[in-house]
Structure 1
């Protein structure tokens, strides 16, 4: 199966096929660069990529895919705890030879898990989205999202190389950069769209585009409405997870309602069981790296993946994501952040005795990370900085509140709803 036909000359070639910041390459040049790198890594059990927003990252990912070595993108701001955990996990990646990508989760209930994503799942998802969004080689895709997540890497890079659309990566998703890019198709997370509507000129500059896509977290209704008012676009929303890729999406030729993420894409089925959204289909992951127990627990007895999200499906099939079954997944600035991972980092500080982390509503970020700690002789700024050095910077608490004790139930579990 040819996963990235643009690199095989399916769409001809053009000098500015892929641009990341100030660097650009034609598809032929990208293929040559990737082939040279592939020769260096052939036969290796995995390729760990320091996934900066750069053309070098694109080359490395394509090289791994070209030669069949599982690619493990790592956040460039990952702290030593996070990085060492990932490296330790993939040291045994020879047990995952069929994986195209190993994407690590947000560590909701502990250390992040490696998600094994196959070439077949990637191809199925990108083809389904190309159909849903009328995404073709005539498009110019623009985004500035991180290159170590499904949104920025799978959709935002591999999607362009599969559909043959030009790719313009702005390095950072700044409103002025989006406005100047001249794209037909734009990807962003709610924080990006919130910042764009705060800059009216940037929002109005997107009027000539064909489609604006929002994902990774729920788009607030006021932002949806402001985008429509300023740019003339009703943005398309979609829903997915690292384990499932994108399973539900509004269509370019369909209704776009604020608060709704559309219908299942081609090849995907959904159902609601006890308020939880469950999915199955061709886009699902192959399992968790080195975690057969977690893989088994993620599926129902009849083979449906448990998303852990509460959802509602209207009579017409439109999906609305209500929230998490638990309170331990925080969506901040488009990132999915596991409270447990942040709590573990806080507890590794010698002055901290107890820690609990929650997400609270925030106008710009969607949610901000707030930590409640029991500690002696340490200030909030020190703890925030400490977490930023241990994990990715975006996982740091924005606020720290000190308590004499955390509220717990009779079983000793922290009562986060009270926090």
Structure 2
């Protein structure tokens, strides 16, 4: 599909008929993926030469974001994707996600399956205009990644405050305290929630208390109909009733966690979060969160760079808040900020200042 709006018609057809369906944004459908889908028996709308096979009744397929490699297909149904139950206050939701992603399906199934939930769709390619659309159409609820919210606050903070938001949801990337606090400053009366969800384990964690992380008491808590959360070797493990097909039991998510002050904080992907600096283990996510806590920083990305002496060094890319243009932070100032809050191995040895927050169609940082 070329747009979220056009994708709603086949979704409605699936809801009515149960026809097997995979929705994918046109920009993601490269030749390799097209060949793969055809080889697996999919008929790809708008193309020719697709082989036939018997469809699996009621099956919905999602493509993972591909942030850790080639996108994978995860099998779901409308039932496993519809994770919100019970009455909700009437709201008008903004859906800025790419068609067919898990987050897109979450908002779309909410609008389809729950009375009083309207939908305003904005395509990722047209995101620069979403704030004006939010004001014009009276959007009262919006879901987006931390990168999405940081970019919007940086570009259009005053206009953003005119959107009548009552519910703000943040997810898709590690959610730190800084972005929650920034949203609270703009929308002091809104309910601000962060959510952990994925194509594999569904919507597994929802937190409404305005704090990053979730209470450590939630680990191994067993409540009927809810996921069971665990930590093994610093990795989040989830047993979920909303998991994709073939993923029963405990699923290792690949996400790194740390436990601080009674909260379980998700810091990033396990394969990229740990940086070995001369034998000391440094969490890139922890360093990133320290940079995000600086009042002049809008966004930061932290990674390891190879070093012949110590294995790796910590380096960072930073985008300064547009409001700090008259008194911008310097690399030296940010270095001091980190040294006061981090052990020596975690202090970035190089900080590169970027002009804009990078992002891709998944609304995540393009790094």
**Unaligned 5+ runs, structure 1:** 1-49, 288-294, 332-358, 365-391, 400-419
Tell me the residue number matched to 2:250: 304
Q: Give the whole-Å Cα distance in 1 for the aligned partners of 2:317 and 2:21.
A: 34
Q: Distance in 2 between matches of 1:180 and 1:314?
A: 42
In 1, Cα distance between equivalents of 2:236 and 2:54: 30
C-alpha displacement of 1:238:
0.6
1:188 is aligned to 2:141: no
Q: Provide closer, same or farther for how the CA distance between residues 261 and 315 of structure 1 changes in structure 2, counting only shifts above 3 A.
A: closer
Residue in structure 1 matched with residue 324 of structure 2 by the alignment: none
TM alignment of 1:321-360, pairs within 5 A: 321-327=266-272
Matches for 1:171-320 after TM superposition, within 5 Å:
171=123, 172-173=126-127, 174-198=130-154, 199-206=156-163, 208-232=164-188, 233=190, 235-251=192-208, 255-257=209-211, 259-260=212-213, 266-287=225-246, 303-312=249-258, 319-320=264-265
| Structure 2 match to 1:161 | 112
Aligned pairs (5 A) from 1:118-157: 118-123=77-82, 125-127=83-85, 135-136=88-89, 138-152=90-104, 154-157=105-108
User: Is the partner of 2:28 in helix, strand or coil?
Assistant: coil
TM-score normalised over the length of structure 1: 0.55
Distance 2:101 2:19 in 1: 18
**Structure 1, residues 76-135: CA drift from partner, whole Å, max 9, x if none?**
112533432442354169587255311122345653221001233123x232xxx6xx73
SS at structure 2 position matched to 1:327: helix
Residues 315/120 of structure 1: CA separation in 2 closer, same or farther (3 Å cut)? farther
2:63 equivalent to 1:104: yes
Q: Aligned partners of 2:186 and 2:66: how far apart in 1? A: 37
SS at match of 1:74: coil
- What is the Cα deviation at residue 151 of structure 1? 0.8
Whether the 8 Å CA contact 2:65–2:362 is kept in 1: the answer is no
Return 5+ residue gaps in structure 2 as ranges: 43-51, 274-284, 286-314, 321-359
Q: Quick check: 173-182 or 241-250, which moved more?
A: 173-182
Distance 1:95 1:110 in 2: 29
Query: Could you tell me how far apart the structure 1 residues matched to 2:137 and 2:32 are?
Result: 34
**Counterpart contact for 2:171–2:194, Cα < 8 Å:** yes
Structure 2 matches for 1:43-122, cutoff 5 A? 50=1, 52-88=2-38, 90-91=40-41, 97=56, 100-107=59-66, 110-122=69-81
- Contact 2:25 2:100 survives alignment (8 Å): yes
SS of the residue corresponding to residue 252 of structure 2 reads strand
> Are the aligned partners of 1:105 and 1:242 in contact in 2 as well (CA < 8 Å)?
yes
Structure 2 CA distance for aligned equivalents of residues 398 and 238 of structure 1: 21
Distance apart, 1:271 and its partner CA: 0.9
Q: CA deviation at 1:181?
A: 2.9
Residues 161 and 193 of structure 1: CA distance in aligned 2, closer, same or farther (over 3 Å): same
Task: State the Cα distance separating 1:231 from its structure 2 match.
Answer: 2.2
> Structure 1 residues 306 and 398 mapped into 2: Cα distance closer, same or farther (>3 Å)?
closer
Q: Would the alpha carbon gap of residues 64 and 394 (structure 1) be closer, same or farther in structure 2, given more than 3 Å must change?
A: closer
Q: 1:57 to 1:91 in 2, by over 3 A?
A: same
